[in-house]
Structure 1
Amino acid sequence: MEDGYTEKATHGSMHRTRTATILSAISARFWRKNSSTVILSRRLGLGSTVSLLLGIMIGTGIFISPRGVLAYSGSFGASLIVWFLCGVIATIGSLIFSELALMFPKSGGDHTYLHETYGNVLAFLHGWGALLVLKPMSLAISSIVMGEYIFYPYFSDTLCYRDDTMVRLHAATFIIFLMLVHGSGLKLISKLQVIFTGLNVFTLLLIILNGMINISLGYTHYLNVSSSFEGTNKNVFSFGMAFFSGMFAYEGWNTLTYTMEEMKEPAKTLPRAIMIAMPTITVLYVLVNVSYYTVLSPEDVLDAEALATSFSRHTTRSTSLLQSLLPFLVCCAAFGSANGICYTYSRMAVALGREGHMPQIIGMVNPDTMSPNFSLFLMGFISIMTLLLPVSLEHMIEFFSFAIWLSYFLISISVLILRYTRPDFHRPFKVHWILPILMAAASLFFIVASFFAAFGPLELLIVSMVIVAGLIVYVPFLYYKYQPPFMDKITIWVQLFLFIVNTEYKPPENFPIYDDGSENDSNM
């Protein structure tokens, strides 16, 4: 069936293609009168791509991770080295992912590379965990940080206790607002991302400027080289956890791989955007951490609920306007970070639904806005449910980091595997073989460190439950291709209610198309 209108010979076949017929009819009648398919349009140039990466990475992490990096490294000097090396690791990872993204220029990102390398089971388990646990948890983390920077600077003075409930209520409101924004379409998201990227960079430059002024005025007691390494932790696994915290601030370095179906000239744009954005972010992060310690002691950093706010309050030249403005700017950074999480989630959902690894409605988009409305609703719902869990922000970060680095380890190895199994694939960009090995070694070290330094029975139980639940779903619905009889009715009803249709993949111009003969496992 090419356009959704071809009738099949048997009643059973007609029943299975009814969903495709409805979605094509909706698309042709209401939005695409001259076409029965919807294709993600290429709107992202170099400027938009760099802005997207900067806006996503400069998010909540730089305002919460310094506490974890310091706690596990033990000293300011050691933490500064960790911050720099985290930038190097993120840059290496971005370049490795660029090779894979240009081999398979689809929106699926991590899921696509795992599927092409390891097959259906591992790819499905990754997509299952990412869509139902990791991405919603990441959004919940960003929203909690936003809630803290709204609640504590502006409202907590009237309270004599830490009201975590109010923080999470603010976070839930933020998630709902974000879902509404993303449902409005890529154009609005791109414009907002440019604005918030500018605000994010301005926020870091404002902190750095104040830090440089502090240094010029002699506020260098905590920056003293002779004492900056005092108390450095000698436990190698604790340093692994310090990298865990630092890499969380750099999280989002692989975001551009999810934009491959919407990027103009990806073979040129992707590597250039990475080489512009990654060094910029690394320098900014290191200088921001130096600025923090011009007026904050290590004890102040460890005790700070809202680090940027504590910095502004300890800076003697700070006006009341600056102290009021800085938390708002941090909230803008949280929006940029959360925006990237929603974007990558939606693009992964499109790939999973289109390839049959999830129900079709997961990957369907509104033809006008190109927004996968159902998957956004699902993400918002799960994220709000995550806020109800009695789990600290630090534990959320540790669990998220463990799971995400497990996938990074497998993907780093996949670069070498694909060079052996598919040597003739078109590779517009190719990294030296030593980089995937270094990335895999770093990933494995982070994973092992988390087991010895942070993971307990509860975290292991959660990981096991997610994997087992995924296998329970995979066996009947994908391996045996069982489709519940009511699924068509649900799909059609959701399509009509949310105005969503399937998308069709269109490779970039001048890219060869490889056909390995594989087909979707299931339409579920």
Structure 2
Amino acid sequence: MDKRNKTQLRRAIGYFHGVTFILSTIIGAGIFIAPKGVLKYSSLHVGITLSIWVVCAVVSMITALTYAEVGTTFPQSGAQYYFLKRSLGSPFVFFCLSASLFEIPAGMAARSLLLAEYVIQPFYPGCSTPTLPKKCLALAILWSLGILGVQGVNKITWFQTISAVMKITVLCIIALNGAVLLVIRKENLIRLGDAFSSDLPNISQIPEAFFQGFYAYSGWQSMVSIAGEIKNPAKNIPRCIFTALSLVTILYLLVNISYLTVLTPEEIIDSDAVAMTWADRVIPSYQWIISIGVSSSILSGLLSTIFSSSRLYYCASQEGQMPLLFSMLNTHSSPALAVIQTIIFASVMIFSSDLIRLINLLGILGSIQLGLIIIGLIKLRYQEPNLPRPFKVHLLFALGTFIVFSLLVLIPVIHSPKMYHICVLFFILSGFLLYLLFVHLKFRFGWFNEVTCYLQLLLNISPPDGPEEYISKEITLPKSVLKFQQKHDED
């Protein structure tokens, strides 16, 4: 069979598209939600707020380079999933998988609601937007992106390139206007200086402020999730991560300074759409430009999440921890059912609206998964020292990151426990319970084979024709999947 006509994930993303993909994923809802949350948990102290943004940038860079080692060592789609299974074993990786089944759709639901808020807000000047139209629009956005998400990598990359240009343009407009206003209006500089004298936050609030900041920088994980579709992954994964995060750090600091130059901390806290409030104060006649730019920013971030998360479920299916349907590809070489499942879960979670508390919950779950990745990385260094590693992060950086995120999780739990900490414990216990039932005991529903056949015909999907390029079958596919593929090829 001609290699170009094979049904498999293709390596179509180079350095330029890799950078734009990460930018599209990171610069989404975070920079328009997190400033409010960071200020809130910093007790409106501007100095603490800006320091947290800087520290979050540094820690995110080190953490992303730690993930880069995972992606370059195992350059396949869903690399972190396979890495955890190889280093720590099936129970721990299944916990991460079960947590992601909530974490990823919940984040998508939050961003969809924010996007709907920015789209509808210009039609309701001076008042809050009604809830029902906002949620209906958020659902329509999700399903439209789901349709685009099953069209394959080529159509998604050009869309992400255009949206990356638009969102960077909007952030540059906000940053440059803020810098000019800070220089030409002395009262803005005085007010900004006065905000440094606010009360210091409680120690239990600092971790929650960091979770808000990390949420704005999150998204670099997508480069590891789609490692199987990146050209020359050993070289491009670390380069793309370093370039994108450096650009994002500069933009985020300038944008936050611009927000604080034009708006008081109290005004930022009271605003549901900070960028629109800023635009209404600075360039009211061009408010629609900011609205379009912000909307495209969040839209492309959602699409990146759909794209990368579906590859995680694709890998989990190949490793036997999700039904084989999730690793079947359509004619566009896209795991269509994995995309649809993510959209359905996110649609259900649209009806939750406490974004700041939701971000804290996602931050704790993400920190636990990151801790497992670092433990697995250290364990594998000693367990398989001769394993080829094109890119290696210094273990001191990995250990430092592990300590930081451990403190961020433990300090608020010990000092001021809240209800969502109990939710995290529930997810941990339910993850191991599901593993025991469906993976260890191999419980199966008798009617599922029939459903598999019907869904294959309905979605026009089939198993991939072979392992991903550059990856041997011994590494990527367990024996159960290989047998299934051999049977498919014979049929």
Equivalent AA in structure 1 for residue 69 of structure 2: E
Question: Quick check: 1:137 aligned with 2:106?
Answer: yes
Residue of structure 1 in register with 2:312 after alignment: 348
Residue of structure 2 in register with 1:396 after alignment: 358
Query: Out of 292, 295, 316, which is 1:331 matched to?
Result: 295
Residue of structure 2 in register with 1:479 after alignment: 440
Query: Out of 386, 392, 407, which is 2:349 matched to?
Result: 386
Question: Quick check: 1:155 aligned with 2:123?
Answer: yes
The 3-state SS of whatever aligns with 1:261 is: helix
Residue of structure 2 in register with 1:470 after alignment: 431
Deviation at 1:431, TM superposition (A): 1.1
Is the 2:59–2:401 Cα contact (8 Å) retained in structure 1?
yes
Deviation at 1:50, TM superposition (A): 0.5
Question: Quick check: 1:255 aligned with 2:225?
Answer: no
Deviation at 1:455, TM superposition (A): 5.3
Deviation string, structure 1 residues 83-123 (Cα, Å, up to 9, x no partner): 11111111101110111111111211432222121101111
More off after superposition, 441-450 vs 32-41 = 32-41
Query: Out of 10, 24, 29, which is 1:60 matched to?
Result: 29
Residue of structure 1 in register with 2:489 after alignment: none
Q: Distance in 1 between matches of 2:128 and 2:358?
A: 22
Residue of structure 1 in register with 2:336 after alignment: 373
The 3-state SS of whatever aligns with 2:320 is: coil
Is the 1:356–1:522 Cα contact (8 Å) retained in structure 2?
no
Is the 1:426–1:512 Cα contact (8 Å) retained in structure 2?
no
- Residues 64/476 of structure 1: CA separation in 2 closer, same or farther (3 Å cut): closer
Deviation at 1:39, TM superposition (A): 2.2
Residue of structure 2 in register with 1:112 after alignment: 82
- Residues 352/161 of structure 1: CA separation in 2 closer, same or farther (3 Å cut): same
Question: Quick check: 1:359 aligned with 2:323?
Answer: yes
Q: Distance in 1 between matches of 2:347 and 2:465?
A: 31
- Residues 362/513 of structure 1: CA separation in 2 closer, same or farther (3 Å cut): closer
Residue of structure 2 in register with 1:417 after alignment: 379
- Residues 244/189 of structure 1: CA separation in 2 closer, same or farther (3 Å cut): same
Q: Distance in 2 between matches of 1:516 and 1:332?
A: 36
Q: Distance in 1 between matches of 2:415 and 2:33?
A: 19
Equivalent AA in structure 2 for residue 121 of structure 1: P
TM-score normalised by the chain length of structure 2: 0.92
Is the 1:50–1:273 Cα contact (8 Å) retained in structure 2?
yes
Query: Out of 278, 297, 314, which is 2:264 matched to?
Result: 297
Equivalent AA in structure 2 for residue 346 of structure 1: S
Is the 2:119–2:291 Cα contact (8 Å) retained in structure 1?
yes
Equivalent AA in structure 2 for residue 173 of structure 1: A
The 3-state SS of whatever aligns with 2:77 is: coil
Question: Quick check: 1:45 aligned with 2:45?
Answer: no
Equivalent AA in structure 1 for residue 55 of structure 2: L
Is the 2:182–2:189 Cα contact (8 Å) retained in structure 1?
no
Residue of structure 1 in register with 2:487 after alignment: none
Deviation at 1:506, TM superposition (A): 3.8
- When Rg is computed on C-alpha atoms for both structures, the one with the higher figure is 1
Query: Out of 117, 121, 139, which is 2:91 matched to?
Result: 121
Question: Quick check: 1:497 aligned with 2:464?
Answer: no
Task: Note the residue ranges of structure 2 that are not aligned, 5 or more in a row.
Answer: 485-491
Deviation at 1:222, TM superposition (A): 5.2
Q: Distance in 2 between matches of 1:516 and 1:107?
A: 10
TM-score normalised by the chain length of structure 1: 0.86
- Residues 93/223 of structure 1: CA separation in 2 closer, same or farther (3 Å cut): farther
Is the 2:115–2:298 Cα contact (8 Å) retained in structure 1?
yes
- Residues 330/51 of structure 1: CA separation in 2 closer, same or farther (3 Å cut): same
Is the 2:71–2:79 Cα contact (8 Å) retained in structure 1?
yes
Deviation at 1:508, TM superposition (A): 5.3
Is the 1:105–1:508 Cα contact (8 Å) retained in structure 2?
no
The 3-state SS of whatever aligns with 1:358 is: coil
Equivalent AA in structure 1 for residue 125 of structure 2: D
- Residues 252/479 of structure 1: CA separation in 2 closer, same or farther (3 Å cut): same
Residue of structure 1 in register with 2:488 after alignment: none
Deviation at 1:451, TM superposition (A): 2.5
Q: Distance in 1 between matches of 2:356 and 2:169?
A: 27
Q: Distance in 2 between matches of 1:36 and 1:354?
A: 21
- Residues 302/415 of structure 1: CA separation in 2 closer, same or farther (3 Å cut): same
Deviation string, structure 1 residues 251-292 (Cα, Å, up to 9, x no partner): 102211012111111111111112211111101100000111
Deviation at 1:485, TM superposition (A): 2.4
Deviation at 1:467, TM superposition (A): 3.5
Residue of structure 2 in register with 1:70 after alignment: 39
- Residues 431/413 of structure 1: CA separation in 2 closer, same or farther (3 Å cut): same
- Residues 55/216 of structure 1: CA separation in 2 closer, same or farther (3 Å cut): same
Q: Distance in 2 between matches of 1:514 and 1:184?
A: 29
Q: Distance in 1 between matches of 2:293 and 2:439?
A: 45
Q: How does 1:217-232 map to 2 (within 5 A)?
A: 217-219=184-186, 221=188, 227-232=194-199
Deviation at 1:78, TM superposition (A): 1.3
Deviation at 1:342, TM superposition (A): 0.4
Is the 1:96–1:436 Cα contact (8 Å) retained in structure 2?
yes
Equivalent AA in structure 2 for residue 360 of structure 1: L
Deviation string, structure 1 residues 198-242 (Cα, Å, up to 9, x no partner): 011111101012112212322553566753421242422211111
- Residues 232/416 of structure 1: CA separation in 2 closer, same or farther (3 Å cut): farther
Query: Out of 45, 55, 59, which is 1:89 matched to?
Result: 59
Q: Distance in 1 between matches of 2:483 and 2:443?
A: 9
Residue of structure 2 in register with 1:431 after alignment: 393
- Residues 174/239 of structure 1: CA separation in 2 closer, same or farther (3 Å cut): same
Task: Note the residue ranges of structure 1 that are not aligned, 5 or more in a row.
Answer: 1-31
Equivalent AA in structure 1 for residue 110 of structure 2: I
- Residues 329/351 of structure 1: CA separation in 2 closer, same or farther (3 Å cut): same
Equivalent AA in structure 2 for residue 484 of structure 1: F
Deviation at 1:504, TM superposition (A): 5.8
Query: Out of 266, 271, 277, which is 2:244 matched to?
Result: 277
Deviation at 1:452, TM superposition (A): 5.2
Q: Distance in 2 between matches of 1:250 and 1:104?
A: 24
- Residues 521/192 of structure 1: CA separation in 2 closer, same or farther (3 Å cut): closer
- Residues 70/363 of structure 1: CA separation in 2 closer, same or farther (3 Å cut): same
Q: Distance in 1 between matches of 2:481 and 2:226?
A: 24
Deviation at 1:148, TM superposition (A): 1.1
